[in-house]
Amino acid sequence: MREIISSERYITILEQFVSTQIALEDRPRIEWFMQDGARPHRTEKVFRFLDEYFGNRVIALDYPKFTGTGMDCPPYSPDLTPCDYFLWGALKDIVYGNHPSTLDELESAICVVCNTISVETLKDVTSNFILHLCHLIFSNGEHFENIVF
């Protein structure tokens, strides 16, 4: 049986992520943590955990209301990860094009499609992501439109 993502399960995932980061870290903690606005991500327990590890270096919906620090996710913010502006759309089109009817079929289709992504495609995505960040810097973090990456 598959687990749904509850706030408790999400905290377990965050604990694994943070422990890996601590083990790999050989530099000062200057990174920010950004998450989407899914309901399990916006509970008091999750915000307490994020506050303990990241403090004011969190960008998340409702986080500043709870902690008084960090940044709220701005509406219509530019996508800050290659997964947001490329991968999910590309995968969705192919995976759902095959009309999976069960969760097992969906999971299998996602794995198959992920294994078909070429190294060249990943290099292109990385190059476009760098260009995306340059536009974001140039726009002072404001929303920008009508740019094809």
Co-location of 40 and 86 in the same domain: no
Co-location of 56 and 83 in the same domain: no
* Per-residue pLDDT at 28: 60
Q: How many domains does the chain have?
A: 2
Co-location of 42 and 95 in the same domain: no
* Per-residue pLDDT at 1: 57
Q: Look at residues 67, 99, 115 and tell me which one is the last residue of a structural domain.
A: 67
Cα 5 to chain centroid distance, Å, stands at 15
CB 41 within 8 Å of CB 10? yes
In a domain, 144, yes or no: no
* Per-residue pLDDT at 79: 61
In a domain, 21, yes or no: yes
**Strand pairing partners for 33?**
58
Report d(CA 137, CA 122) in Å as an integer: 23
Look at residue 74 and tell me whether its pLDDT is greater than 80.
no
Buried b (16+ CB within 10 A) or exposed e, 27-54: eeeeeebbbeeeeebbbeebbebbbebb
Q: Look at residues 67, 88, 108 and tell me which one is the last residue of a structural domain.
A: 67
**Owning domain of residue 40:** 7-67
List pLDDT tens digits, range 83-141.
776 777 878 888 988 899 998 898 899 889 989 989 998 888 888 878 877 877 777 76
